[in-house]
Structure 1
Amino acid sequence: MVFSCFQDLEDESKAESGYDETWKKQVGNKGRSRQVGEKFEAVELGCDLLRKETNIILRQSMSTQLRLAFMFQMAEETGLTNVYVAQLLKRQAQLNPQTLSTRASPLDEAVMHYGENIKEITNEEFGNG
C-alpha cells in the first residue's frame, strides 16, 4: 500500500511534468507568434513607407515632365533651342537682337518682365527640381 502511494505520487509528478512541458511549449509558441506578428507589422510599415516614397517620386517625375513639356513648347513656338529657352527663363542668357524674331519677341518680353515670376510659379506648381 505504501508502494502504491509512492507510485501515485510518481504518476502525478510525471503528469505535472508533462503539463509543465506543454505549458512551456505553448508559452514558447506564443512568444514566437508575437515575434512573427512584430516582424509582419515591421514589413507592413516598410511597405507603407515604400508606397509613400514611390508616390512622391511619381509626382516629382510627372512635374518634371510637365515643366519640360512647357519649356519644349516655348522653344518650338519661338524657334529657339530648349536649352536656350531654359537659360532665358533662368536669366542665365540674354536674348540677342540677331536671334530676336517676331515670334521670339513675346518670349523676350515675358522673360524680361516676368521671368522670375514664371520661374516661381512653375516651381510652386510643379515642384522645385
Structure 2
Amino acid sequence: MQDGQGAHRMRAAIAIGLAVLLAGLALAAYDRHVLDRRLRIAQDDLQAWSALVEDHRRRTLQFPIRETQAWSGFLPASRPADFAFFYPGADGYPLTAVGASGGRFAGCTLTLDENGRHARDGCPPVGRAR
C-alpha cells in the first residue's frame, strides 16, 4: 500500500512540475506578444500623426510651426506610461516616440521619416521592425 501512495505522489509531483514549466513558458511568450503589440501601436500612432501633419501641410502649404498645431486632432492610442511623442517643429520630420523613463520601453526611440520609413533604436528585441 505504501509503494502505491509513493508512486502516486511522484506522478502528481511530476505533473505539477510540468504544469508550472508550461505556464512559465506561456507567460514569457505572452509577455513578448504584449511588448510587440505596444511597439506596433506606437508605430501606428506615428503613422496616424504623420497623416495629420501632412494634411495640415496640404491645406496650408507648410508644416505646422507650433507643436500645438501638430497635435491638433492627434490622440495617441499608446499608453502615456509607454511612450512620449515629439514634434521637430517647422521641418515636420522626423516624428519621434520615446520610451518613458523607468518604463519597459526606457531607452527605446521610434522614428518616422518623411518617406514613411520607421526606425527603432534601443527597443526590446520583439517582433520585427517595420
Is the CA contact 2:53–2:92 (under 8 Å) kept in the aligned structure 1? no
Structure with the bigger percentage of helix: 1
Q: Where does residue 119 of structure 2 map in the other structure?
A: 120
What's the CA shift for 1:107? 5.2
Structure 1, residues 18-39: CA drift from partner, whole Å, max 9, x if none? xxxxxxx111110111001000
Report the AA paired with residue 29 of structure 2: E
Q: Where does residue 65 of structure 1 map in the other structure?
A: 41
CA–CA distance in structure 1, aligned partners of residues 33 and 93 of structure 2:
33
Q: What is the percentage of aligned positions where both structures have the same residue?
A: 7
Q: Where does residue 32 of structure 2 map in the other structure?
A: 56
Q: Match for 1:111 among 91, 98, 114?
A: 114
3-state SS of the aligned residue for 1:69? helix
Cα 1:30–1:103 change in 2 (3 A) is same
Report the AA paired with residue 53 of structure 1: A
Cα 1:76–1:125 change in 2 (3 A) is farther
Cα 1:32–1:108 change in 2 (3 A) is closer
Count of aligned positions = 83
Is the CA contact 1:79–1:103 (under 8 Å) kept in the aligned structure 2? no
Structure 1, residues 31-58: CA drift from partner, whole Å, max 9, x if none? 1110010000000001111111111111
What TM-score results when the alignment is normalised by the length of structure 2? 0.50
Structure with the bigger percentage of strand: 2
RMSD of the TM alignment (CA)? Answer: 3.3
Is the CA contact 1:77–1:103 (under 8 Å) kept in the aligned structure 2? yes
Q: Where does residue 14 of structure 1 map in the other structure?
A: none
Is the CA contact 1:78–1:103 (under 8 Å) kept in the aligned structure 2? yes
CA–CA distance in structure 1, aligned partners of residues 46 and 123 of structure 2:
12
Could you tell me which runs of 5 or more consecutive residues in structure 1 were left unpaired when the two chains were aligned. 1-24, 81-97
Q: Which runs of 4+ in 1 moved over 6 A?
A: none
Q: Where does residue 62 of structure 2 map in the other structure?
A: 102
Q: Which has the higher contact order (CA 8 A, sep 6+)?
A: 1
Cα 1:101–1:108 change in 2 (3 A) is farther
Report the AA paired with residue 114 of structure 2: V
Cα 1:108–1:34 change in 2 (3 A) is closer
What TM-score results when the alignment is normalised by the length of structure 1? 0.51
